Amino acid sequence: MTGFRRAQTRRADVSDGHRNAVNGRHQQQSATDGGDDGECARDHVCSRCATSFPTERFLAQHLAPDRKRCRVCCKRFRNTSNVVSHERVHTGEKPYACPVCRKAFAQMGNLRTHQRSHASDRPYACDVCHRRFVQKGNLTKHSSTHSRDKPYACDVCPKSYCQRYQLVRHQLKH
C-alpha cells in the first residue's frame, strides 16, 4: 500500500475510573492487547475519552492543547482569529457597533455589510426589475419572485409561494 493511511481509532474500556484530566489536558495511558496472530499490538489510549491510537505520537497530538479549537464546543478552525470570532456565538459578545443605529455585531464583516443599508451602496441589482440590494443573498431570494416556480404549497388550500417565509406567513391565517 502506498501513501498515508488515516489512523484507526477505537474506544477502550475506561470503567476503571481513569477518565480524569491533569492541568486541563488529557492523561495518557498505554495498554497492550493481544491480536489474533499471536503478536502484541500496543495501543495508546486516552484515559479521558477512551480513544485508542496506534502510536504514541498520535496520542500526543490528541492530548496537545489545540489553539485552533473552540473551548466551548471543540469545533476546529484554520486560524486562531476565527476561533475568537466563533467563541462569541457562545458568549454573546458583540464588540462591533454601528455608529448610525447602534446595532451590534459579533463580526466586523457583518457590521460592514449592515452599514451599506444606511448608505446608497447597493451593489447587487435585479436583472428583471432593477431593484438593488445590499447583499447578494437578498438578491437571490428576490429573484425567485420573478419566477413562475412556486415550490412552497399550502397543505390546507391550493395557494403556493415562491419563498418559504411567504408560505409560513400564509399558514398563520388558517
For 120-173, what is each residue's pLDDT tens digit? Answer: 888 899 999 999 998 899 999 898 888 888 999 999 999 999 889 999 999 999
57 located within any domain: yes
Q: Is residue 35 part of a domain?
A: no
Instruction: Establish if 63 belongs to a structural domain.
Output: yes
Express as a percent the part of the chain with pLDDT over 70: 75
* Percent of the chain surpassing pLDDT 90: 36
What 3-state DSSP class applies to 144? helix
Report yes or no on 66 lying in a domain.
Answer: yes
Residue 30 lies in a domain: no
Q: In the chain, how many domains are there?
A: 1
Question: Residue 95 — pLDDT band, cuts 50, 70, 90?
Answer: very high
pLDDT for residue 174 is more than 70: yes
154 by Cβ neighbours in 10 Å (0-12 / 13-18 / 19+) ranks as middle
Cα–Cα–Cα angle for 57, 58, 59, rounded to 5 degrees: 90
Reported confidence tier of residue 41, pLDDT bands at 50, 70, 90: low
Mean pLDDT of the region 58-72: 80
Q: Is the pLDDT of residue 44 over 70?
A: yes
State the residue range of the domain holding 47.
43-72
Higher model confidence: residue 113 or residue 42? 113
Find the mean pLDDT for residues 108-118.
Answer: 90
How far are the Cα atoms of 49, 55, 81, 92, 105 from residue 74, in angstroms, in the given order?
14, 23, 15, 17, 23
Q: What is the pTM of this model?
A: 0.44
| pLDDT of amino acid 26 | 44
The DSSP H or E segment spanning 31 is strand 28-34
Instruction: Tell me whether residue 3 is in a domain.
Output: no
